[in-house]
A and B are shown apart, each in its own frame.
Chain A
Amino acid sequence: MIDYHALAPELLLAGTVLAVLTVDLLRVEKYWVAVVGLFGLFLSFIPVLTLGFCDTLTFCEDTGTRFLFGESYAVDSFSLVLKALFLGSAFVAVLLSVGYLESDRFWQGEFYFLMLSSVLGAVVMASSRDLVTIFVALELVTGPTFLMAGWRKGDPRSNEAMLKFFIIGVLSAALLLFGMSLVYGTTGELTFAGIRAEAAGIRGGDLEALFTVGVLFTLLGFAFKVSAVPFHFWTPDTYEGSPTPVTAYLSVVSKTAGFVGLLAICYLAFRDATFLWGPALWVLAAASMTVGNLAALRQTNIVRLLGYSSIAQGGFILVPFGAAVAAGVTDVQLEEAFFATVTYLLIYAFMNLGAFAVIIAGGNRLRSAEIGDWAGMFGYAPGLATMLAVFFFSLAGIPPLAGWFAKFVMFRAVLSVGGGWAAALAIIAAVNSVIAFVYYAKVVKSAFMDPAPEHVAVADLARMPTVPSLQFALVLTVAGVIVLGIFPGIIAEIGELTKTFASGF
């Protein structure tokens, strides 16, 4: 029979999605929809905790990794950690959206419905262990975000963001599916465990070429989803044109979901094909870091700057994958690489959501996303300017903010592999960290040192309050970035838990 405890987070979240839809039909103030959504997210977080601490709870029968529906769906420490991350990030993303949607005439009920559906997809994604489940989960993540990207229906820029995002999103789904169908055709298996077992027999056989094409197309599909260079061109446009809370959601939840799929498929299904995905992801990692950072250097719009910055951060997240390029990479080294990617994803979520929260708060006051207009912010909004500095320096990887630990484990993973290719990747990553520091610091310097431009009414701006929901989001993320930066042991411990995943079943 079905293990309902293991499925409880998904079931509660699905119930919340339906509840949100129903509340939208009642004649109540629309912010109640957000309240129900937040409550539902909190509620679905509880079973994630009870499952995670199962061995210490009396009512819970600890059975280790729980498999459901054959081997298609697994609830293990990796999936629980990622589920917690998705639910937490979604909580912050909803908080960011409340003030934004209240500020103008937007359709509110549908927005939260779509966002929570997308989160449900991400939560399912963390547990997916077969090709069809992972595909359906990925589409559930991206489908609603197409519409959210175009939420300002009357604004041509929002329209453009939506249409570009949609066409690229569907194209990547088609590429991914084609790859999956070839993998299925050659191995005859849909589950990751089955593919791994069958793939060993394919090497050197007639079907090897077809299998290789399948693997590469699958990676290509994911490369679009995580906006790795050269499949990134939609990202800056979509990020700039979308409403800013949606951009925050896209750059954290949707992107992390893509990485989770990539992790599961590379480390489980294609575990014995590191010679295929290692080099491919090495190239993507190097290209994403370099192109993302160089393009970010010459941006004048702060949202667009964060768009390119998130492409570059995606490159850093891909670096441990690329380290698998070395011949004869051992299981221990792969575990280290896996740990590094998961840790980076956890920290990235905090600092990027925080950075977007600051941009939304600043954008509410200034009604502008041009970096020039942000000059002198310290003068009239010292709190906001300080938080801008915290998040941007964390993204740059300056201790004692959380970002440094993410970069540290990333370098440790790639250096532990050793060899020429891994070392080359480490050097590229190091150079890029320096480039990244330049543009992050430029924005912070402008906010602290430069005088405010003349058309900015400083006196009015100083009096403007920040919306309470936004304040809450800022406090959560700032606390996360600082605490995790000073006590990285917490995140390392969580990352350690997921390592067992990388050593297979």
Chain B
Amino acid sequence: MTVTAGWYMALAASLFTIGAAGLLLRRNALVMFMSIELMLNSVNLTFVAAGRELGVLEGQLSVLFVMVVAAAEVTVGLAIIVAVFRNRATASVDELTGLRG
């Protein structure tokens, strides 16, 4: 059996779903954050698989940009979590209920 681009797409879609489920179900900001990273990486897999299938470089090129943007987001995100943790000593989003209405 040969592994075609379709299988990579299916894998990427599964990873994306796992990430989305993790984001919706988990309540720890760090774990939610890791779920988002999983979603972004599944996108990378789709890009690479599509680029490989079509025989063009743009897919891999896009991945470089996604990686750097993801890293910038990680930096911002961890800084935010550290800032919140300093005030609250918790990383659970369930305790953030000050703003409602």
- A–B proximity contact (CB within 8 A): yes
Decide: B101 and A135 in contact? CB cutoff 8 A.
Answer: no
Question: Is the CB–CB distance between B83 and A166 below 8 Å?
Answer: no
B1-31 contacts to A (CB < 8 Å): 5, 9, 12, 16, 19, 23, 29
CB neighbours of B23 from chain A (8 A): 167, 171
Find out whether the CB atom of B69 lies under 8 angstroms from the CB atom of A146: no
Report yes or no: B72 in contact with A143, Cβ–Cβ below 8 A: yes
Question: Which residues between 46 and 79 of chain B lie within 8 Å of chain A, taking CB atoms?
Answer: 46-47, 49-50, 53-54, 56, 58-59, 61-62, 65-66, 69, 72-73, 76-77, 79
Q: How far is the CB of A14 from chain B (nearest CB, A)?
A: 16
Contact B62 A132 (CB under 8 A): yes
Q: Is A184 in contact with B80, judged by CB distance below 8 angstroms?
A: no
Let me know if A167 and B98 touch, CB within 8 A: no
Please, how many angstroms separate the alpha-carbon atoms of A147 and B82 in the complex? 12
- Shortest B38–chain A CB gap in Å is 9
Q: Are A159 and B87 in contact (CB under 8 A)?
A: yes
CB-CB under 8 A for A157 and B99, given A147-B76, A166-B77: yes
Q: Return chain B residues, CB-CB under 8 Å to A322.
A: none
* Residues of B close to A156: CB separation below 8 A: 87-88, 98
- B-facing residues in A385-412 (Cβ within 8 Å): none
- Assembled-state Cα–Cα distance A240/B98 (Å): 11
- How many interface residues does A have (CB within 8 Å)? 42
Q: A384 on the interface (CB 8 Å rule)?
A: no
Q: Which residue of A lies closest to B96 (CB)?
A: A160
Contacts of A162 in B (CB 8 A): 80, 83-84
Given the complex, which residues of A lie within 8 Å of B46, measured CB to CB? Answer: 178, 181-182, 185
In the complex, chain A residues 168-205 whose Cβ is within 8 Å of any chain B Cβ: 170-171, 173-174, 177-178, 180-182, 184-185, 188, 190
Please judge, given known A-B contacts A147-B79, A159-B83, whether A177 and B66 are in contact too, CB under 8 Å: yes
A136 interface residue per 8 A CB criterion: yes
Given contacts A162-B80, A170-B77, contact A177 B99 (CB under 8 A): no
| Interchain CB contact under 8 A, A131 and B101 | no
Report the minimum CB–CB distance from B78 to chain A (whole Å). Answer: 11
Residues of B within 8 A of A135 (CB): 65-66, 69
A139 interface residue (CB < 8 Å to B): yes
Select B98's contact among A136, A157, A174, A210, beta carbons within 8 Å.
A157
With beta carbons under 8 angstroms apart, the residue of A136, A173, A174, A184 that contacts B19 is A174
CA distance A136 to B16 in the complex (A): 20
Q: How far is the CB of A370 from chain B (nearest CB, A)?
A: 12
- The listed residue (B39, B53, B56) touching A174 by CB distance below 8 A is B39
Interface of A: prevailing SS: helix
Residues B62 and A236 in contact, CB atoms below 8 Å apart: no
The answer to whether A178 and B43 touch across the interface, beta carbons within 8 angstroms, is yes
Q: Is the CB of B72 within 8 A of A185?
A: no
Whether the Cβ atoms of A177 and B98 lie closer than 8 Å is no
Contacts of B87 in A (CB 8 A): 153-154, 156, 159
Instruction: Tell whether A240 pairs with B77 under 8 Å between CB atoms, given A177-B40, A182-B46, A185-B49.
Output: no
Q: With the chains together, A365 CA to B6 CA distance in Å? A: 62
| B16 CB contacts on chain A under 8 angstroms | 174, 178
| Known contacts A147-B80, A159-B83, A164-B96; is-contact A181 B50 (Cβ 8 Å) | yes
Given contacts A143-B73, A159-B83, A159-B84, contact A299 B62 (CB under 8 A): no
Assuming A163-B29, A190-B62, A237-B99, is B9 touching A178 (CB within 8 A)? Answer: no
Residue contact A174 to B36, C-beta cutoff 8 Å = yes
Give chain A nearest CB distance to B61 CB in angstroms.
Answer: 7
B86 to chain A, nearest CB (A): 8
**A159-B83, A166-B76, A185-B50 known; A178-B96 Cβ under 8 A:** no
Please determine whether A150 and B61 come into contact, CB atoms closer than 8 angstroms.
no
Residue of A nearest to B50 (CB): A185
Per a CB cutoff under 8 Å, which of B42, B49, B50, B83 touches A178?
Answer: B42
Cβ-based interface call for A255 (8 A): no
For this complex, 10 residue pairs linking A to B, each with C-beta atoms less than 8 Å apart, are: A139-B69, A159-B87, A160-B84, A167-B29, A167-B93, A174-B19, A180-B43, A185-B5, A185-B47, A301-B101
- Which residues of B line the A interface, CB within 8 A? 5, 9, 12, 16, 19, 23, 29, 32-33, 36, 39-40, 42-43, 46-47, 49-50, 53-54, 56, 58-59, 61-62, 65-66, 69, 72-73, 76-77, 79-81, 83-84, 87-88, 93, 96, 98-101
